[in-house]
Amino acid sequence: MLVLLCDQLRVDAAHLRTLLDTFERTRASVVASAYEDTRGVPALFARDVFPELEALSPDQGARGVIARVASRVVDVPLPGGGDDVDTPEDVSRLT
């Protein structure tokens, strides 16, 4: 399952393809984007971690699951992945 957010401007089709290719090559439980000392989304999750994702409360994100299964995660660098858009000022700053 691919999980991604709509406010990450640096995510493009090439990065998503790299996530998919890495997942197909490694069969890791999670293939996560790595940026700014963070492992996060966009990320691909294998079926073996679905129960952990399903157990998340509405106010929790997938980053906690990624941290709990850290030994089964493969990282894909995403330069600028921490740049997200929450305000009109963010759009101006990042574009």
The pLDDT, as a whole number, for residue 81 is 76
pTM to 2 decimal places: 0.87
The pLDDT, as a whole number, for residue 28 is 98
Count of the separate structural domains present in the chain: 1
The stretches in the chain having pLDDT less than 50 are none
The one-letter amino acid code at 4 reads L
Sheet of 73-77, strand order: 2-3, 38-45, 30-35, 73-77
Rg (CA), the chain: 14
Q: Read off the CATH number of the domain in which 47 is found.
A: 3.90.550.10
Domain that holds residue 20: 2-94
